[in-house]
Amino acid sequence: MKRLSWREWLKTITFYEILVGMKATLSHLLHYKPITLQYPHEKRTLPDNYRGMLALLRYDDGTEKCVGCDLCEAACPSRVIRVVSAEVPGEPTKRYSKEYYMDMTRCLFCGMCVDACPVDALGMTREFEWAVYDKRQLHLNKEQLLAIGDRAFPVREKRLELQHPNVAFFNVAFKHVPHKPN
């Protein structure tokens, strides 16, 4: 049997390891400085990857980006989104979202609908103050979602056919777009 030295014996009797652990706890307890924000006037900084309220986006000329493909509705795991799409009269290959509804009481804020959108018509804002007394106010329609998008994303991108010179050159998308000069 091994004999303990007097230091090891003293550490065993005084519970040295527990005291070393409690030193960190006590130093935090004694030197703790709380960080208090006066909430309505001071707001904390949100992380860069924060996912807030969803919004529908527009192009710079004011037209809606949504093409009514219903991929966001299919990608949503909690079935928050409901899209009613229709065809543009006279142009059967073009579609748009006639009606667009979101039930934000069931939203998980996962961002899968934003990732699924092929034309980037959905965006996640940094808004988090959506406390209401009646949860029916969180059933948002297309106009409300577009208003959120206008407020949260003031800088808009150009239409797709104006971004790509080949589309504008061949004038495939719209007949009213002027031909590209030679």
Residue 143 contacts by C-beta under 8 Å, 6 or more apart in sequence?
none
Residues 123, 149 contacting (CB under 8 angstroms):
yes
Q: Is 69 annotated as a binding residue?
A: yes
Task: Give the CA distances from residue 7 to residues 4, 10, 15, 25, 48, in Å, rounded to whole numbers and listed in that order.
Answer: 8, 5, 12, 25, 52
Kindly list the strands in the beta sheet with 91-103, ordered across the sheet, starting from the edge strand earlier in the chain: 81-88, 91-103, 139-140
Residue bearing tokens 């899209």: 83
Q: Is 72 annotated as a binding residue?
A: yes
Residues 75, 65 contacting (CB under 8 angstroms):
no
Q: Is 110 annotated as a binding residue?
A: yes
Q: Is 117 annotated as a binding residue?
A: yes
Please enumerate, by residue number, every residue annotated as part of a binding site for [4Fe-4S] cluster. 66, 69, 72, 76, 107, 110, 113, 117
**Which residue positions form the known binding site?**
66, 69, 72, 76, 107, 110, 113, 117
